[in-house]
Structure 1
């Protein structure tokens, strides 16, 4: 195990048409990941990743398994570049910890030895379906709030919820109706709020009047990591009950707590509750840094997590593996630093 290294996997919003096409063309290990995904899901997810259309790829039911597949394809290519004959998810480079942002936590499971690839992708697609459904039943969204501390923003969410609930005639018909909360503690000065449409609008207006630099609506299909997703928790619980989840051989840092999990039952609880709970990304990176991790590999499409890491903690090395040229570049850097032979 390499005590200084952690793998990070991105979440929804990192998807883009064309992702993974370069590594598919160059890496046999990556091609095997895409082939396994297509076989598991019963349609060409790889074609959707490479060619779109964008609106279909953006659908939550497709975006989530697509991001997991592409992330793991790049990881497979990196391990293959380090050792073509003897590579696996965690060999030859075995991280001390793995973590993922929202659906990225699922990308971490095969690496941690907790779930195989096929079961991961089938469960993630069902997760996406459940979340997309709640987004239609109780319309809402998410907004990034820039340059506002969590305490005043939490108070704003509480006030917006109280006002939105007061506007409802009769009893709420959905557990997320009229509610908004802090959904993602991404980095200092970058917090995401999530909730039912009216509550989210009210919170955004209040944030602007009380000093937020910007309030940016996110291109998502629902109020993820908020009470709007509570019914999805129940559906996901049934899906997870059918999975052969194993104890992790590499600790997974939990989104809900920012603490490491290895026990299968604890992981099952985390994965079930996570869709309606806040993502504690600041705590995640702080825990890893305090545990001696100095090198972070963001593996998958986009570079959002790398930017967050740099804002949360100083003096850390962050590498991206989300393009084919980055695979050989990072492999060379790891060898130069003596992290792998």
Structure 2
């Protein structure tokens, strides 16, 4: 069986994901998270707003994904392709052996801090669906925004300061967009506004550059496959301030001819995007299942 794995990004995490991680985490992972996000980890019921804060969301989502991957990996075939959407590329590289789970949690804390330090005032991301790419690009320029992610020909994500996002939302709706959604991310990820964060993160990743990855990790920037740790780290640093072409990345994964695709959440946005391509390759998201055993059964049944 040829398996492809997609790791989701920020925005779809819910208190239920936090609860599942806190209940299922090993003592070692629990201690790592207690150090990384102490107030949140010890809170009785953290709010959704707290879970969406960059400083919490990044280490939390990464840990959730890797905790689930550790349960799945022994029972699944080695993937032929792995990709991660934005933050999800951290989990993709960790799963491929670039660094340990514990090191990854610490790196996510530092990644979030570097990104937050680049932004003075409210900022974020806005998804615009149903308009041509050139129309959205013109609208972005008018509002002082930048195209941050291309999910498809008529599905783009804009990044920038909050005032521009509000204006762009109104203009996109007036232009006939089928859907306009403010994403649950508080930084203008994948735009040049975060150039300093890319530089700083490259320095932090410098110790993790030796060896080969266990399987290819496809960059969300352009779908290029990293097979060495060094190439994976270069892509991780660049993607913080470089626009992503997720559509191209999915195309590159498809070229690896997977028999089945699994999204490791939170959420199922990537599974929906894959399904919309109507390529005949079955896809599900981990959030569709009640247990790791259910995921394993579904994947193995496809073989």
What is the TM-score of this pair, normalised by structure 1? 0.79
Structure 1 residue 33 displacement after superposition: 6.8
Residue 85 of structure 1 corresponds to none
Structure 1 residue 286 displacement after superposition: 1.3
Query: Paired residue for 2:50, among 56, 63, 74?
Result: 56
Measure the CA separation in 1 of the matches of 2:3 and 2:238. Answer: 27
Query: Paired residue for 1:275, among 240, 253, 257?
Result: 240
Residue 37 of structure 1 corresponds to 32
3-state SS, counterpart of residue 10 of structure 2: coil
Q: In the comparison of the two structures, how many residue pairs are matched?
A: 303
Measure the CA separation in 1 of the matches of 2:20 and 2:10. Answer: 20
Contact 1:157 1:203 in 2 (8 A): yes
Contact 1:144 1:215 in 2 (8 A): yes
Residue 188 of structure 2 corresponds to 223
Measure the CA separation in 2 of the matches of 1:186 and 1:47. Answer: 36
Quickly say closer, same or farther: Cα 1:221–1:336, change in 2 above 3 A.
closer
Measure the CA separation in 2 of the matches of 1:42 and 1:160. Answer: 35
Quickly say closer, same or farther: Cα 1:313–1:130, change in 2 above 3 A.
farther
Residue 139 of structure 2 is aligned to residue 156 of structure 1: yes
Residue 197 of structure 2 is aligned to residue 232 of structure 1: yes
Measure the CA separation in 1 of the matches of 2:21 and 2:185. Answer: 27
3-state SS, counterpart of residue 301 of structure 1: coil
Unaligned runs of 5+ in 1: 83-91, 162-179
3-state SS, counterpart of residue 71 of structure 2: helix
Residue 114 of structure 1 corresponds to 98
Residue 3 of structure 2 corresponds to 5
1:15-73 CA-partner distances (Å, limit 9, x unpaired): 11131544765x6xx5367336337638486556x832333322101101100111111
Contact 2:128 2:157 in 1 (8 A): yes
Query: Paired residue for 1:74, among 68, 81, 89?
Result: 68
Contact 1:302 1:322 in 2 (8 A): yes
1:150-171 CA-partner distances (Å, limit 9, x unpaired): 222123323433xxxxxxxxxx
Residue 16 of structure 1 corresponds to 14
Measure the CA separation in 2 of the matches of 1:321 and 1:6. Answer: 13
3-state SS, counterpart of residue 13 of structure 1: coil
Residue 251 of structure 2 corresponds to 286
Quickly say closer, same or farther: Cα 1:160–1:56, change in 2 above 3 A.
closer
Query: Paired residue for 2:274, among 292, 309, 313?
Result: 309
Measure the CA separation in 2 of the matches of 1:65 and 1:195. Answer: 23
Residue 145 of structure 1 corresponds to 128
Residue 214 of structure 2 is aligned to residue 249 of structure 1: yes
Unaligned runs of 5+ in 2: none
What is the TM-score of this pair, normalised by structure 2? 0.88
Measure the CA separation in 1 of the matches of 2:297 and 2:276. Answer: 26
Measure the CA separation in 1 of the matches of 2:129 and 2:90. Answer: 27
Structure 1 residue 236 displacement after superposition: 1.4
Q: For the pair shown, which has the larger CA radius of gyration, 1 or 2?
A: 1
3-state SS, counterpart of residue 220 of structure 1: coil
